[in-house]
Structure 1
Amino acid sequence: MNKTDRLLAIVLELQGKEIVRAQDLANQFETSVRTIYRDIQALSEAGVPIVGSTGIGYSLMEGYFLPPISFTVEEAVTLLIGTDFIEERFDDHYRIRAQDAHRKIEAILPESVRNETTRVRKAMRLLASDKRVTVSKEREYLEKIRRAILDKRKINFHYVKRFADAEKNRHSVRTVAPYGLVLIQGSWMLVAHCDLRQDIRHFHLSRMTELTVLESQFELPVHFSLREYTPPDDRSLQVRLLFNYDIADKVKESNNAYVEEMEEHQDGLLVVLRVHQLEEVLQWVLGWGAEVIVLEPESFRNRIREEAEKTLKRY
C-alpha cells in the first residue's frame, strides 16, 4: 500500500471508530508506529482535524466527513454484487435498502466506470434459490429474529428435527435468547441460548413454525462474540464410503458439511463422514444409488439395504 492509499485508509479508520491507537494502525497497515506518526502529521497539515491524546489514541473532530469517494471498476463491482446478494438472501427491510444502495452507487459512478461495471456484472450471476416457499418463510422469520436480536428480546417457536423415517421426527417448543444469525450453504441458522437445554443451541429457520417475539428481555454475555464463536464438535460417529470414480467430481462438488476426509484410491473415492446420528446422512447416501458402497459401520450398511428393499417393493 502506497502512502496516499494509506492516508485515505487512516482517515476511514478514524471516521469509523471513536478512538484509534497508533500501534493498532501500524499493525493493520503493516508499518511502524513512527510512520503512523508522520502520516497523522501529514493529514493534520492537509487540514484533516485529528485530535490526539497521549496514551489514548487519535480521533476525528466531531462533524468531519470525507468528501465523496470514487470507486474503481473492481470496487464498484464488489459493492454491487454485495447488494445483489443481500437482495437475494436477506429480509424485506434490507432488500429494499440494498436496492436503494445499488441505485446510489450507480448514480455516483462516472459514465466510463459505470459502463465497464455493467459489462463485468453481465458476466456474473447469482442464482436464486429454487426453494421459494422456504426462502419466503426464512425471510419472514429472519426479519423478526433480527429485530429481536437488536432489541434483546427472547423468541418462542415450534421446532422439528426431521429424520428419514417421519415417525421419528422430534417436535418441541423452544424459548431462546437469540445471539446471532449465520448463513450456511444458503440456509439461515440461529445461534441462541435455549431455556430448555440451558446452553447454546443452533436452529434452522426453515424448521421453525409459529415464531413469536416475546416481551421478556435478555443480556448478551460479555464474553460472547459471534465472529469468534466455534460450536463444539461432538460428532462421534464415523461413516466410511467408497464412490465410483465416474462420479468423484460430483461428490467433491456436493459440499456435504459432514465430510471430514476425501482420498482417491485405485478402487474409487474414499469419503469419511463424521456425524451425530446416522440419519443425518441417510438421504444423501441413498441419493447416490449404486454408485456408492458403505464400508462402515455395519449398522449403516444394513440400514441402506433396508431402505433399498423398501424402494424395490414400491416398484
Structure 2
Amino acid sequence: MNKTDRMLAIVLELQQRKVVRAEDLASIFETSVRTIYRDIQALSESGVPVMGAPGQGYSLMEGYFLPPVMFTVEEAVTLLIGTDFVEQRFDPEYGLKARTSSKKIESILPEPVRADASRVRKTMRLLSPGNRVSLGEEKDYVEIVRRAILQERKVEFNYVKKMPDSNGNRKSFRSAAPYGLAFLQGAWTLIAWCDLRQGIRHFRLSRMKELKVLEERFEMPPNFDLEDYRPSDDRNLRVQVLANPDIADRVKESDNYYMETLEECEDGLLVSFRVRQLEEILQWVLGWGSNVVVLEPESFRDRIRDEGEKMLKRY
C-alpha cells in the first residue's frame, strides 16, 4: 500500500472508531509506528483535523467527515456481488434493500467504471441453491429470527436433528434465546441458549418447523460476542480411511465437514476424520462403495461390514 492510499485508509479508520492508537494503526497497515506518526503529521498539515491524546491515541475532530471516495472497478464489483449474495440468501426485506443498494452503487459510478464493473460482473456468477425445497422457508425464518434477536425475544420451534438420540428420536421441541445467526457450509445456523439443554447450541434453520417468536424476553450475556465466539469441540472419535487413487480428486472436492487431514500415499489418499459419533460419516463412507476402505477404528470396520451384509440380503 502506497503512502496516499494508507493515509486515506487511516482517515477512514478514524471515522469508524473514536480513538485509535498508533500501534494499532501500524498493526492494521503492517508498517512501523514511526511511519504512522509521519502519516498523521502529513494529514494534519493537509487540513485533516486529527487530534492526539497522550497515552490514548488519535481521533478526528467531532463533525469532520470525509466525502465519499471513488470506487475502483474491483471495489465496485465486490460491492455488487455482495448485494447479489444478500438478495439470494437473506430474507425478503434485506433482499429488497440489496436490490436498491445495487442500483444506488451503480448510479454513483462514473460511466467508465460502471461499464468495466458491469463487464467484469458478467464473468462471475453466484449459483443459487436452485430447487432446494426448504430455501423459501429458510429465508422466511432468517427474517423471523433476525427480528427476535433485535427485540431480544425468545423463540420456540420443533427441531429435526441430523442424528437420532439414544431413544431413536430425531424430533424435539425447543425454546431458546437467540444470540446470533451464522452462515455455515451454505446454510443459516442459529446460535442460541437452549432452555432444554441449558447451554449454547446450534440449530440449522432448514431443520426447524413451526418457528414462533415468544413474548418472553431475554438479556444478551454481556460477555457474549458473536464475532469472537468459538464453539467447544467435542469431536473425540478419530477415523481413518484409505481412498483409491482413481477417486482421490473427487474425495478432496467433497470437502466433508469432519475431514481433518488429507495425505497422498503410494496406495491412494489417506483421509483422517474427527467425529462425535460414527454415524456422522457412515453414509459418506458407504457412498464410495469399495473405493474406500476403513482403516480404523475396528468398530467402524465392523459397522461397515454389517451394513454391507444387510445390503447384500436386500439384493
Alignment TM-score > 0.5, same fold: yes
Structure 1 residue 258 corresponds to structure 2 residue 238? no
* SS state at 2:261 partner: strand
Unaligned runs of 5+ in 1: none
Separation of aligned partners in 2, 1:9 and 1:195: 45
Mapping of residues 270-309 of structure 1, within 5 Å? 270-309=270-309
Give a deviation string over 1:24-65, Cα, whole Å, max 9, x none.
Answer: 323322344454444334434434344444444443344433
Separation of aligned partners in 1, 2:24 and 2:266: 52
More off after superposition, 248-257 vs 35-44: 35-44
Give the aligned partner of residue 66 of structure 1. 66
* SS state at 1:69 partner: coil
Give the aligned partner of residue 40 of structure 2. 40
Amino acid at match of 1:115: A
Separation of aligned partners in 1, 2:302 and 2:35: 68
Give a deviation string over 1:241-277, Cα, whole Å, max 9, x none.
Answer: 1211111000001110101222222222121111111
Amino acid at match of 1:78: T
Q: Is the 8 A contact 1:262 1:271 kept in 2?
A: yes
Separation of aligned partners in 2, 1:220 and 1:189: 18
Separation of aligned partners in 1, 2:295 and 2:279: 16
- CA shift at 1:311, angstroms? 3.9
Separation of aligned partners in 1, 2:94 and 2:260: 35
Structure 1 residue 126 corresponds to structure 2 residue 101? no
Separation of aligned partners in 1, 2:203 and 2:126: 26
* SS state at 1:273 partner: strand
* SS state at 1:133 partner: coil
Give the aligned partner of residue 199 of structure 2. 199
Separation of aligned partners in 1, 2:54 and 2:239: 59
Separation of aligned partners in 1, 2:19 and 2:108: 30
Percentage of identical aligned residues: 66
Q: Is the 8 A contact 1:192 1:201 kept in 2?
A: yes
Q: TM-score, normalization: structure 2? A: 0.90
Structure 1 residue 3 corresponds to structure 2 residue 14? no
* SS state at 1:128 partner: coil
Give a deviation string over 1:2-25, Cα, whole Å, max 9, x none.
Answer: 222122112211221233333332
Give a deviation string over 1:182-228, Cα, whole Å, max 9, x none.
Answer: 11110111111111211111111111111111222222222222222
* SS state at 2:75 partner: helix
Mapping of residues 72-91 of structure 1, within 5 Å? 72-91=72-91
Q: Is the 8 A contact 1:164 1:283 kept in 2?
A: no
* SS state at 1:132 partner: coil
Q: Is the 8 A contact 2:164 2:170 kept in 1?
A: no
Amino acid at match of 2:221: P
Q: Aligned-residue CA RMSD in angstroms? A: 2.3
Amino acid at match of 1:176: A
Mapping of residues 101-180 of structure 1, within 5 Å? 101-163=101-163, 168-180=168-180
Amino acid at match of 1:264: E
* SS state at 1:81 partner: helix
Amino acid at match of 2:229: Y
* SS state at 1:168 partner: coil
Amino acid at match of 1:248: A
Amino acid at match of 2:103: R
Separation of aligned partners in 2, 1:68 and 1:86: 23
Unaligned runs of 5+ in 2: none
Separation of aligned partners in 2, 1:312 and 1:115: 61
Structure 1 residue 238 corresponds to structure 2 residue 209? no
- CA shift at 1:153, angstroms? 1.8
More off after superposition, 125-134 vs 35-44: 35-44
Amino acid at match of 1:109: L
Separation of aligned partners in 2, 1:66 and 1:124: 32
Q: Is the 8 A contact 2:153 2:214 kept in 1?
A: yes
Q: Is the 8 A contact 1:148 1:155 kept in 2?
A: yes
Give the aligned partner of residue 26 of structure 2. 26
Count of residues in Structure 1 that have an aligned counterpart in Structure 2: 314
Separation of aligned partners in 2, 1:248 and 1:263: 10
Separation of aligned partners in 2, 1:154 and 1:102: 34
The 1:44–1:274 alpha-carbon spacing in structure 2 relative to 1, beyond 3 Å, is: same
Give the aligned partner of residue 95 of structure 1. 95
Q: TM-score, normalization: structure 1? A: 0.90
- CA shift at 1:309, angstroms? 4.1
